[in-house]
Chain A
Amino acid sequence: MLILTCPNCGQTGEETEFHAGGEAHLKRFGPGSSDGDFEEYLFMRENPKGVHFERWRHVYGCGKWFHAARCTTTLEVFGTYSAQVTEPPKEICDKISKKRPDWSWRAFS
């Protein structure tokens, strides 16, 4: 069972306080979008062995959403950060690069 630190309230809690919300940094496609773009948005998901970016909600705590960068094999948490960004912040990417020099995720590396 993971422990996560919510960047909104600063509490470190066990996984049961949180709710996992799937892949991070999806770009929404609405009416007018192509079938391909919409399919990508609604159905297609990363399933990496290694570095992954996810959405979580501190559902039993402050109720806020946030992002987490995590390794799906070792469960190492590289960091948590604001939900109000469209891509991982540089300091998180740098931290990952230090530990996993060859990482890449979608367009990020």
Chain B
Amino acid sequence: MSTRLATGGRLLNKDKAVRFTFNGQQMRGFEGDTLASALLANDQMLVGRSFKYHRPRGIVAAGPEEPNALVNLGVEGKFEPNQRATTTELFEGLLATSQNHWPSLEFDVGAINAKLSRFMPAGFYYKMFIHPRPLWKHVYEPFIRQAAGLGQAPKGRDQDTYEHFHAFCDVLVVGGGIAGLIAARSAAKTGARVLLIEQTAHWGGRAPVDGGDVDGKPVDNVVDELVSELEAMPNVTMRTRLMGAGVYDHGYVLGYERLNDHAPETDGPRHRLWRIRAGHVVTATGAIERPLSFAGNDIPGVMLASAVRDYVVNYGVSSGDRTVIVTNNDDAYRTASALKFAGLDVPAILDARVLPVDSPLIAEAKAAGIRVLMGHGVSKVLGGKRVTGVAVCSQAGEGAVLEEIACDAVAMSGGWSPVVHLWSHCGGKLLWDNDFAMFRPDVDKAPTGAEGSAFVSPVGSANGHFGLAELVGDAHAMGHAAARATGHKPGKVSAPDASSVEEAAMAPVWLMPQGAGAALRGKAWLDYQNDVKVSDVQLAAQEGFESVEHAKRYTTLGMATDQGKLSNINGLAILSDALNQPIPQTGTTTFRPPYTPISMGAIAGEARGTVFQPIRRTPMHEWHDKNGADWEPVGHWRRPYAYVRNGETVHDAVMRETRNVRENLGLLDASTLGKLVVKGPDAGKFLDMLYTNMMSTLKPGKCRYGLMCGENGFLIDDGVVARIDDDTFLCHTTTGGAERIHGHMEEWLQTEWWDMQVYVANVTEQYAQVAVVGPNARKALEALGGMDVSAEALGFMEWADGTLGGFDVRAYRISFSGELSYEIAVHASKGQAFWDALMAVGADLGVMPYGTEALHILRAEKGFIMIGDETDGTVIPQDLGLHWALSKKKEDYLGKRAQERPHMIDPERWKLVGLETLDGSDLPDGAYAVAEGTNDNGQRNMQGRVTSSYHSPNLNKGIAMGLVLHGPDRMGEVIDFPGTDGTTYRARIVSPVFYDPDGEKQNV
């Protein structure tokens, strides 16, 4: 039985009871409990089922290393699976359910897997589900999917909010235990800006539980004093519930702050991701105790010795009335003392070591009347869903049972491993320490930063210093060193004084007993969460998975949500033993961030809902929205695809708008087109290099359509260039192309032709631009009144400044539809007013706004190309029959040399043509035309593809453009386009200009 003790519990507020529910059962804990301590207090030993064999599992640890106690928390929009009970602070009304069982935790059908475990060794899934192949899709995969995963995926939308915070400091100290506190103080006293973060809600770490004196005072008092001292320093920021999740290049550290997981009704974000940039990082991340590998070490009630101690001291919870301790080191004796002090029984300490003399801790245990069996270990643990006893054996033997000791908990300790995760994330190297059988940071091989110098220092037990005296001295010195690394000078401050209890050397014990036979090894668990046993790792080695990374993936050791915090070293040792090589030669697997799982919400931060992405709006956005706009994303811009009226489908609206432009008058919001002012004595020369056309010969007042290619020859943009005066041009780019083309111009100006006198400014958003298009376009502008827009005053491809309806405007007489067309630019702040004025005067002229799809149809009817439809980054102007836009007079322009490469002048390149189906139906966009024969992969040969396809309401048939092999030479030929629907579309190759080929409509 685990239960709440009448005394103890330094972290509890026993005046405040907290009610919570586990698997539907009402339970009670206290403020200050974790869910794990509260469950133990309610004798809830069994908390989950293991992943593969569905074995009953209980709480093992008291911190973030917990592999078993993973629960579903909350409901609906607050639901979250796989939450560690040991790091979940209890709050009123907490709802938790256990995972990975059916129908119930107590009776789980899946537990049959445990009976079959002999037949499901490492690699079982790989071996079993590969043959016969056809079974994979409909039998194996659905079965495995059903079995996969521990918790349930949330179904509801997350109700909580999250955010980021950018923090800067000289010295970041990760970990608020005694080492972190002392290092932070040493660094802070130099005047350095210090940020100290601690993952739990409490300062001090293990020190108050483990005890000892610093400067002659009990360590828990010292912790309180240090906290007060640091809090009073203006250059120190201290945060609890903030975990150092990952260390990255150049001192970048991610911190994961859990703001109201413990108080879900509070206002504000649930988690905050700290994006910290530190001059130097001190990792005071402590150490984690290792389990021992003996048969039945996963039965609920078998726990880490330090955890048993934590639960007694911190939470006043006993894991059992009678606890057998099994260890290979002195530290576990502290658990015996703590249990005795709490009035609990320790029937025996099984110590695998054989020591010549008793160390002080052993002597103390013996003096307290505890039976200490040196050279002994656990043959196997007795019990099913909870521990009922242990069978004792000699560590040296094969597990012959010497006696059985009844108990209800087992506290095990296999030694300690420094938490080297954060040290290792960014390249810190490790050393194997033979004395403590552990990897610790190799401080001479630290991660290096922007300056090439070390930027991480490990301190305290994270640096392999376990005695209080060594730990305190190390922390003090490293705090100074960290400050010095950021340019701060430590004064002469001496380290705090502490003494360590002398401890006997630990003895590495990787298997208990050392000669355990197959039956015992098959029940000795390494990785609790992923159900990996000693025998699995041995099998992996035997089957040739000798690299630690291969063995890890084959067995899944260390691949669960705890990432092997308890299992890695033990697994490594077993693997090394199987390979008959020393542990350092086997090496470790890679430590990757985050240290423990962090929420996806924290990573996304504010970027959800309305601010998921930066939607760009034109000045007329709201009007469009109110007038039926069906939105189309174009880059981050939103443009109306069509304005849908009541009773219309989107297609109906597109057809109506397209017809109306040709028959009456259409308005298009063209504000999104990029507008770049290019000015300077060399502007003409510069644009001649950027465009394939000649721009320097353009006369002020005139416009010219231009093509832009990259240096690799491929088309990147197009648009109309207007010459404003001798020195100044205004270049239009495609929607969404403004920033890219602006950058392209700046790149060439700054990095290649820096002697050219040219300035570029992006004025895209200074203007709202409206295309006024259709036979009535001129009438509409004349109705507004102001400037002369007659054919004589403002000819095709000319521009002029003036006023219209009282607005200052710049009018461009350009057409992307083949109709009489003007594009009118006004200042953005007057865009809506101008649009309103146009709608008003257009009322009698059949005005309708039209969207991007009508725009596309209109341009396709005229055979105008669209960047992104006819081009895809592999198309050159020559492919599109745009030779007329390639200046022959210019020696050079970007892309010219590339367009001379053999592949570019290959006559086999597909070329632009028009396509129309024989029956007038619409060709599927993107369809490929097939040719005779097959390629080397047995697929039909291709001879072309559709680049744009629309239904033209003006021509009353489907029209399309495409790139076709020898296309322009094959006019009239019919080619086949198999559709994805099984039918084949037959289309005739025609001219891409379907409508008004002589351009009579735009030149009026």
Q: Digit string of A76-95 for contact with B (CB within 8 Å is 1, else 0)?
A: 11000001100000000000
Identify which of A33, A55, A63, A75 contacts B897 (C-beta below 8 A): A33
Would you call A2 and B892 a contact (CB within 8 A)? no
Residues of B within 8 A of A42 (CB): 711-712, 898
Stretch at the interface among B248-256, B417-425, B945-953: B248-256
Would you call A30 and B448 a contact (CB within 8 A)? no
Q: Which residue of A lies closest to B753 (CB)?
A: A28
Q: Give bound CA distance, A59 to B731, whole Å.
A: 21
A14 contacts the other chain (CB 8 A)? yes
B697 contacts the other chain (CB 8 A)? no
B896 contacts the other chain (CB 8 A)? yes
Q: Digit string of A12-32 for contact with B (CB within 8 Å is 1, else 0)?
A: 001000010100000011111
Q: Which residue of B lies closest to A19 (CB)?
A: B743
Would you call B277 and A14 a contact (CB within 8 A)? yes
Q: Give bound CA distance, A42 to B713, whole Å.
A: 11
B900 contacts the other chain (CB 8 A)? yes
Would you call A3 and B752 a contact (CB within 8 A)? no
Q: Give bound CA distance, A12 to B747, whole Å.
A: 21
A49 contacts the other chain (CB 8 A)? no
Q: Which residue of A lies closest to B166 (CB)?
A: A14
B450 contacts the other chain (CB 8 A)? yes
Would you call B743 and A57 a contact (CB within 8 A)? yes
Q: Given A14-B277, A30-B892, A55-B751, is A2 in contact with B897 using a C-beta cutoff of 8 Å?
A: no
Residues of B within 8 A of A64 (CB): 750
Residues of B within 8 A of A31 (CB): 891-892, 896-897, 900
Residues of A within 8 A of B711 (CB): 28, 42
Q: Give bound CA distance, A71 to B892, whole Å.
A: 36
Shortest CB-to-CB span from B688 to chain A, Å, is 13
Shortest CB-to-CB span from B762 to chain A, Å, is 10
Shortest CB-to-CB span from A54 to chain B, Å, is 12
Would you call B452 and A65 a contact (CB within 8 A)? no
Residues of A within 8 A of B452 (CB): 71, 74, 76, 99
Q: Give bound CA distance, A33 to B896, whole Å.
A: 11
Q: Which residue of A lies closest to B892 (CB)?
A: A30
Identify which of B248, B277, B750, B891 contacts A65 (C-beta below 8 A): B750
Q: Give bound CA distance, A19 to B743, whole Å.
A: 11
A44 contacts the other chain (CB 8 A)? no
Shortest CB-to-CB span from B881 to chain A, Å, is 22
Shortest CB-to-CB span from B271 to chain A, Å, is 20
Would you call A30 and B746 a contact (CB within 8 A)? no
Shortest CB-to-CB span from A29 to chain B, Å, is 7
Shortest CB-to-CB span from A64 to chain B, Å, is 6
Residues of A within 8 A of B752 (CB): 28
Q: Given A1-B249, A1-B250, A1-B252, is A75 in contact with B450 using a C-beta cutoff of 8 Å?
A: yes
B754 contacts the other chain (CB 8 A)? yes
Would you call B751 and A65 a contact (CB within 8 A)? yes
Interface residues on B, range: 20 to 34
Q: Given A3-B277, A14-B252, A31-B891, is A57 in contact with B747 using a C-beta cutoff of 8 Å?
A: yes
B451 contacts the other chain (CB 8 A)? yes
Shortest CB-to-CB span from A73 to chain B, Å, is 10
Q: Which residue of A lies closest to B426 (CB)?
A: A75
Would you call A84 and B252 a contact (CB within 8 A)? no
Q: Digit string of B705-725 for contact with A (CB within 8 Å is 1, else 0)?
A: 000000110000000000000
Would you call A76 and B448 a contact (CB within 8 A)? yes
Would you call B754 and A38 a contact (CB within 8 A)? no
Identify which of A1, A29, A83 contacts B248 (C-beta below 8 A): A1
Of residues 856 through 902 on chain B, the ones whose CB sits less than 8 Å from some CB of chain A are 891-892, 896-898, 900-901
Shortest CB-to-CB span from A6 to chain B, Å, is 12
Shortest CB-to-CB span from B451 to chain A, Å, is 7
Would you call A76 and B249 a contact (CB within 8 A)? no
Q: Give bound CA distance, A105 to B897, whole Å.
A: 27
Shortest CB-to-CB span from B168 to chain A, Å, is 10
Q: Give bound CA distance, A32 to B448, whole Å.
A: 47
Would you call A76 and B712 a contact (CB within 8 A)? no
Would you call B450 and A2 a contact (CB within 8 A)? yes
Q: Give bound CA distance, A64 to B749, whole Å.
A: 10
Residues of B within 8 A of A19 (CB): 743
Q: Digit string of A29-72 for contact with B (CB within 8 Å is 1, else 0)?
A: 11111010010001000000000000101010001110000010
Residues of A within 8 A of B901 (CB): 35, 38
Q: Give bound CA distance, A77 to B251, whole Å.
A: 13
Q: Give bound CA distance, A63 to B762, whole Å.
A: 12
Would you call B897 and A29 a contact (CB within 8 A)? yes
Would you call B249 and A75 a contact (CB within 8 A)? yes
Q: Which residue of A lies closest to B752 (CB)?
A: A28
Residues of B within 8 A of A59 (CB): 743
Residues of B within 8 A of A33 (CB): 897
Q: Give bound CA distance, A19 to B898, whole Å.
A: 25
Q: Given A1-B248, A14-B277, A99-B452, is A30 in contact with B750 using a C-beta cutoff of 8 Å?
A: no
Q: Give bound CA distance, A3 to B452, whole Å.
A: 13
Residues of A within 8 A of B252 (CB): 1, 3, 14
Q: Give bound CA distance, A29 to B711, whole Å.
A: 10
Shortest CB-to-CB span from B694 to chain A, Å, is 15
Q: Give bound CA distance, A28 to B747, whole Å.
A: 13
Q: Give bound CA distance, A21 to B750, whole Å.
A: 12
Residues of A within 8 A of B712 (CB): 42
Q: Which residue of B lies closest to A39 (CB)?
A: B901
Shortest CB-to-CB span from B89 to chain A, Å, is 31
Q: Given A1-B252, A42-B712, is A21 in contact with B747 using a C-beta cutoff of 8 Å?
A: yes
Would you call B896 and A30 a contact (CB within 8 A)? yes
Q: Give bound CA distance, A99 to B251, whole Å.
A: 20
Would you call B249 and A2 a contact (CB within 8 A)? yes
Q: Digit string of B436-452 for contact with A (CB within 8 Å is 1, else 0)?
A: 00000000000011111
Q: Give bound CA distance, A55 to B743, whole Å.
A: 14
Q: Give bound CA distance, A33 to B116, whole Å.
A: 72
Residue from B452, B712, B754 having most chain A Cβ neighbours under 10 A: B452
Would you call A84 and B450 a contact (CB within 8 A)? no
Q: Give bound CA distance, A16 to B692, whole Å.
A: 33
Residues of B within 8 A of A38 (CB): 897-898, 901
Residues of A within 8 A of B449 (CB): 76
Q: Which residue of B lies closest to A76 (CB)?
A: B452
Q: Give bound CA distance, A1 to B252, whole Å.
A: 7
Q: Digit string of B896-910 for contact with A (CB within 8 Å is 1, else 0)?
A: 111011000000000
Residues of A within 8 A of B277 (CB): 3, 14
Q: Give bound CA distance, A14 to B751, whole Å.
A: 22
Identify which of B251, B754, B897 contacts A30 (C-beta below 8 A): B897
Q: Give bound CA distance, A19 to B747, whole Å.
A: 12
Would you call B897 and A65 a contact (CB within 8 A)? no
Of residues 712 through 748 on chain B, the ones whose CB sits less than 8 Å from some CB of chain A are 712, 743, 746-747
Q: Give bound CA distance, A62 to B870, whole Å.
A: 35
Q: Which residue of B lies closest to A8 (CB)?
A: B750
Identify which of A28, A65, A76 contacts B746 (C-beta below 8 A): A65
Would you call B750 and A76 a contact (CB within 8 A)? no
Would you call A2 and B750 a contact (CB within 8 A)? no
Q: Give bound CA distance, A63 to B739, whole Å.
A: 11
Q: Give bound CA distance, A14 to B166, whole Å.
A: 11
Residues of A within 8 A of B743 (CB): 19, 57, 59
Would you call A63 and B746 a contact (CB within 8 A)? yes
Residues of B within 8 A of A76 (CB): 448-452
Q: Which residue of B lies closest to A84 (CB)?
A: B754
User: What 13 additional pairs, Cβ within 8 angstroms, besides A28-B711, A77-B451?
Assistant: A1-B252, A2-B250, A2-B450, A31-B891, A33-B897, A57-B743, A57-B747, A65-B746, A65-B751, A74-B452, A83-B754, A84-B750, A84-B751
Q: List 19 A-B contacts (CB under 8 A).
A: A1-B250, A3-B251, A14-B277, A21-B747, A28-B711, A31-B896, A38-B898, A42-B711, A64-B750, A65-B746, A71-B452, A74-B448, A75-B448, A76-B449, A76-B452, A77-B450, A77-B451, A84-B750, A84-B754
Chain B contact residues, CB within 8 Å of chain A: 248-252, 277, 448-452, 711-712, 743, 746-747, 750-752, 754, 891-892, 896-898, 900-901
User: Closest 6 A-B residue pairs measured CB to CB?
Assistant: A76-B452, A65-B750, A84-B754, A30-B892, A3-B250, A1-B252
